[in-house]
Amino acid sequence: MCGIVGYVGSGAPSARPEGVVMAGLARLEYRGYDSAGLAIVTDDTTHVDMAKKAGKLVNLGKELAEHPLRSGTAAIGHTRWATHGAPTDVNAHPHLAADGRIAIIHNGIIENYSPLRAELRAEGVQFLSETDTEVVGHLLAREVLAGHDLVHAMRLVAARLEGAFTLLAVDSHEPRVVVGARRNSPLVVGLGEGENFLGSDVVAFIEHTRTALELGQDEVVVITPEGVEVTDYAGNPIEREPYRIDWDSEAAQKGGFSTFMDKEIHDQPTAVADTLRGRIDEHGKLKLDEGVVADQVLNSIDKIIVIACGTAAYAGMVARYAIEHWTRIPVEVELAHEFRYRDPVVNVRTLVVAMSQSGETMDTIMALRHAQQQGAPVISIVNAQGSTIARESDAVLYTRAGPEIAVASTKAFLAQITAAYLLGIYLAELRGNKFPDEIRTLLSQLDEMPAKLQRVLDTAEPVRELARSLVNDRSVLFLGRHVGYPVALEGALKLKEIAYIHAEGFAAGELKHGPIALIDEGQPVFIILPSPKGRESLHSKVISNVQEVRARGARTFVIAEEGDTEAAEHAEQVFYVPASPVLMSPLLTVVPLQIFAHELASAKGYDVDQPRNLAKSVTVE
């Protein structure tokens, strides 16, 4: 949620600060927002120049064209996802204080803003907005006017705040300085030559530098053209090791596709291949990217809990079937936002697996911390290097899917399943549940998936045609059994997210216990049909479910394995995917559902990459 960009430079390597910040905000549009603004520090020490507008970034661009700001050496910019106050020009960030001397932008929520606001009102402060952010600006102004420089003021103010926040501030009296602070909300530093950057995501500055520095919890950063300084709230220096971003700005562009989501659907063969690459060392052990959970700890666990939200939770549900089958360890999948509130049974013998694309999902962060307080080891599966979940876990498996810009997740889903499968295979070998030749077979089956995925993408035009023909339908149902059930849930979620129509995923066997009442004449129903090989009873049960809904007038669209001759007898249309073991099949069967949702939303004329009311990185709990 929200996007933040900060820049300071001598003016040589990059364009004007306004251009750097606006380009960074454009690359952060995927995060979801409803207003945008920026502030520039000029040579005029009396006040900061500012512009902000409700709506999309293009509105801010028009405002800047009509009322240009003066040039300067430092700037901060923001795209807001409304929490406190409606998405209006007044509530948009930045907010000014000290008669325009201080400008502040903020991601997250200040939970104790109400008493702080009352404190400031008692001192005579007048508020212009409904936001919690403006409170922080006036607190900074109070400290600056008392004689503190901006960084000292930020340390004092941040220490008083409760909740989740990333803050950036500038002071017209310090024209070559941008100060930032964070707690429970991401902030990354981009290191340049004669210029430095801040962003809520490395995408914000990837065009200018691929060297980055992650800020830790409760830390303050000062960037100037000459360098970067990181301290804690008490002012103690903190050393942070820079890291290299392993993809370039082209990876964050559409690459000729109509939308980022379409590009990311087509990225999936590469995403799965990259997630698999180099994972097993010469001794056959799984190579974690960061941290370690000792083999003796993994040998002692008697339960696995996957904590995740949305698409990541469905990836965890898919992985549960495989991990339990391979390791014989019971696996639970918990919605992270419910986990810590139900007093879960967690201890040192529970392995917690935290899954998140961004690594900044606040619900998952809080669930992770609760698990660690109970003594549980935590392995995270995330896409974003250096993210909060990655840093706070005992060990990390990065999915290596590259930047995922579209709000509706696609390639991260497949990469998360792949990484979870690698973890399951490793546990199965470590604990002696599988022989070495069985392990090699499983890894070989995974290695075959990128090529099979490409075949699905190359033969997907019939799915697109179907989507265009259903553009006026108002409801679509999805059915699956076993690993097909979470695929059905994910297919329904994709359609809800971007096409805004009623969609539900059901366990196919549950249909006769109530939901079959929804079936009437012409109702579109997708069914994920498992392979008839090795799971004959499962296949026949789902065939029965197809017959049940078809007998009540449903239009049945079946996703089946190539060579399944029975599928066509019971379906209006069949979409075939390459044959694969049942446990591997979700990596293939979900792709036609992703393509269907994308094409239907596009046919309706909707913004596929930035659906209404949603944000890519959910950084509030």
- DSSP labels, 383-404: SSTT-HHHHHSSEEEE------
2 an active-site residue? yes
CA distances from 541 to 158, 533, 549, 601 (A): 58, 14, 13, 32
Query: Given 2, 52, 411, 452, which residue is catalytic?
Result: 2
> Which residue is listed with tokens 């097993």?
280
The C-alpha angle with vertex 246 and arms to 360 and 186, in degrees rounded to 5, equals 20
56 an active-site residue? no
Q: Report DSSP state, residue 340.
A: G
Contact 231, 238 (CB under 8 A): yes
What does the alpha-carbon distance between residue 415 and residue 268 come to, in Å, rounded to a whole number?
8
CA 497 from centre of chain:
14
What b-and-e string marks burial along 337-356, b requiring 16 or more CB atoms within 10 Å of the CB?
bebbeeebebeeebbbbbbb
- DSSP labels, 515-576: GGGG--TT-EEEEEPPPSSS-HHHHHHHHHHHHHHHTTT-EEEEEEETT-TTGGGG-SEEEE
Contact 190, 198 (CB under 8 A): yes
Instruction: Catalogue the long-range contacts made by 470-473 (C-beta closer than 8 Å, 24 or more residues apart).
Output: 470/524, 470/600, 471/600, 471/603, 471/604, 473/501, 473/524
DSSP-based three-state secondary structure for 228: strand
Instruction: Catalogue the long-range contacts made by 66-69 (C-beta closer than 8 Å, 24 or more residues apart).
Output: 69/18, 69/38, 69/40
What b-and-e string marks burial along 416-454, b requiring 16 or more CB atoms within 10 Å of the CB?
bbbbbbbbbbbbbbbbebbeeeebeebbeebeebbebbe
Three-state SS for 2-46 is CEEEEEEECCCCCCCHHHHHHHHHHHCHHHCCCEEEEEEECCCCC
Q: How many residues does the chain have?
A: 621
Query: Given 53, 263, 494, 616, which residue is catalytic?
Result: 616
Catalytic amino acids?
Answer: 2, 616
